[in-house]
Amino acid sequence: MPELPEVQTVIDTLAPHVTGATIVGVHVLRDDYVRPPGAPFSRHLIGRRIMDLRRRGKRILLHLDDANRLLIHLGMTGQITVVRGPTFPARHTHVILILRQQGGDPSTFQVHFRDPRRFGQLCFLGPLDGEQGLGPEPLELTPRKLAEIFKGSRRAVKAVLLDQSRMAGLGNIYADESLFAAAIDPRTPAAQLRAAELGRLCRTIKQVLRKAMRLGGSSVRDYVDAQGAKGSYQTLHKVYGRAGLPCYHCGTELESLRLAGRTTCFCPKCQHRQRMRTK
């Protein structure tokens, strides 16, 4: 569920509630969903105050007042929701934080981490633990950076866009949508893209992500933000999930194929690969 726009939306809707709050309780309902597993995880968090929330790629980083951090991966189906009042946790809720805001309201509230498929994880990071191995942020892209990312790669451009070590934040939805908007065939070997195409792709990646963030992300299945609200960018998808339907631009039937293990939807006409330059 979470690509960059969804992760950023979760942060934006969560931050007003938890920033400045103190963690007064931690319920780990499933030991192997947290790192380190079980009780040691809770001990690290109890009593800490949440200072800041940040995003790096698809990851959420919760900065604590002791310079340690809590790293949150939402995996494929992770949800973080703010819950007030007595509420029985929904099925597949693995961790609950009990929080209290400083000052005013002395009552506690809860943050529930739910993840049916359990591809996500909550990981406590000490000061020496960095998140290395992530490529640059898509929103800070330049055509030059994109050329560097693609340099020497004969892999399909779509596969490179999904590779978090090359660029951190795009997933299957936004890779397909960005490539369509840039009129680039997803199978094109990355290093073969010409300057004009790099320029277009750089622009469409940022446009697509920004628009998706404005609309609160894509709720294709069960994605919701921290207040339980769905996003609406799915209504603007041009190709994702539309194989077999007519292209909005030219009417041609959209096709799907498998790239990097993921279903890839594209318009064979709008995204027709240019004839290779003769060398």
Q: Residues interacting with DNA, by CB under 7 A?
A: 1-3, 6, 57-58, 73, 75-76, 91-92, 116-119, 152-156, 159, 162, 164, 171-173, 217-223, 258-263
Active site residue 262: yes
Active site residue 246: no
Which residue in the list 3, 6, 177, 197 is annotated as catalytic? 3
* Residue 9 or 23 with smaller CB distance to DNA: 9
* Residue 48 or 59 with smaller CB distance to DNA: 59
Active site residue 253: no
Which residue in the list 48, 58, 238, 242 is annotated as catalytic? 58
How many CA atoms within 13 Å lie on the side-chain side of 195?
A: 1
Which residue in the list 30, 35, 230, 262 is annotated as catalytic? 262
Question: Helix, strand, or coil here: 130?
Answer: coil
* Residue 3 or 99 with smaller CB distance to DNA: 3
Shortest distance, position 66 Cβ to DNA, whole Å: 25
Active site residue 200: no
- Residue 262: exposure state from Cβ atoms within 10 A (0-12, 13-18, ≥19): middle
**C-alpha dihedral (28, 29, 32, 35), degrees to nearest 10:** -10
- Residue 269: exposure state from Cβ atoms within 10 A (0-12, 13-18, ≥19): middle
Q: Cβ(265)–Cβ(178) under 8 Å?
A: no
* Residue 258 or 275 with smaller CB distance to DNA: 258
Rounded Cα distance, 18 and 34, in Å: 19
Rounded Cα distance, 14 and 226, in Å: 5
Shortest distance, position 64 Cβ to DNA, whole Å: 22
Shortest distance, position 114 Cβ to DNA, whole Å: 11
* Positions marked catalytic: 2-3, 58, 262
